[in-house]
Structure 1
Amino acid sequence: MIRLVAINKYYDTRRGKNHVLKDVNLTLEKGQKIGILGRNGAGKTTLIRILGGVERPTTGYVERDMTISWPLAFSGAFQQSLTGYDNLKFICRIYGKDPEEALPAVEDFAELGRYMREPLKNYSAGMRARLGFAISLVVDFDCFLIDEVVAVGDQRFQDRCREELIVKRADRSMFFVSHNPGFIRENCDIAAVLVDGRLVPFDDVDEAYHYYQAHYSE
């Protein structure tokens, strides 16, 4: 189970505090897939970074009793001066995986070719995202945090992402954050909508979709 308890997140700006998340509470059970809907700038990425431990909430806390991935489109934890292979070795050691056993699967999925032995500072954003996605698959978490990563790359690569996550790991918990209601309706059991920093949960995905449509069509 993963629980968000009274999460608030502020950022200091020149115009004062920007209250991005306001008293967010949510529980995700093992195997559940939840979609977080919200338009661009609603706080979806901030929420998923807090879930993954990339950022800390200003107040509140997160309870976890499952292994949880980093946000799959996020590569900020990588060392930019190291090669893709060296970053793989570092992460594998943290999670107790054999990097030599993991390497063929990462090379096959990320399709980086010779760039696997090049520093990450030479990678494009898409290449870094593919590497992070591939490494997350070999670590194989109980819960995956997915921030629009299925939109990375061409259609063939997007199809491979969906196959690996949604088909082969159907028993895992997942947080999807998206501004695409159709994707959430297709892949999630439950959903919630971020509106003005507050998370409105729904047990029925269609209800969440209609709420999202009604709110953002105004």
Structure 2
Amino acid sequence: MMILGLTGSIGMGKSTVAAMFRAAGVPVFDADAEVHRLQGPGGRLLAAIEALHPGTTGPGGVDRVALGRAVFGDAAALGRLERLIHPQVAAGQRAFLRRHRARRLVVLDIPLLFEKGGWRRVDRIAVVSAPAWMQRRRVLARPGMTQARLARILALQTPDAEKRRRADFVIPTGRGMATTRARVRHLVACLSRTPGRYEGDA
């Protein structure tokens, strides 16, 4: 099995690229979706999160805005929350890999692949990237997003240039959907067919 780690900074189009891998028939583990499931209605982590931060959960699951206010800018609180969540996400990831162990290629969609050490557990890394001006335009179009909030988020993420430098493959999302889709299909064809080192350019 070839495990491809898929990552990219905020606003780079990683979710769109992950959907393209799925459309090409590749199983994709979405770390963010797993977190949402754990924190959603009836989620396994609700009681523990409520114990850490009272008033941040309810019948609909975690109130992400309230939880964000509780931990943002507080490294100790964020660390406690991550120590609660990450083992559960890792367990979901292991179950995913067991389910798909007969497949030649699977994708682990992990936003903080470099920041949290996930790069050590994949065979190859694909980074989704777009020009900085396009990234900024996409993110600032989101409801509730501000320049200051974007700056804080980017400060917590490995810079895009560093991600591209460490990547085995770069998937561009700033040149149109057709170009991005062609790159994904090319990677799927090559990585599904040939074990070992992919000989294409990064």
Query: Shorter-normalised TM-score: what interval?
Result: 0.3 to 0.5
Higher share in strand: 1
Structure with higher RCO (Cα < 8 A, 6+ apart): 2
Q: TM-score, normalised by structure 2?
A: 0.32
Q: TM-score, normalised by structure 1?
A: 0.31
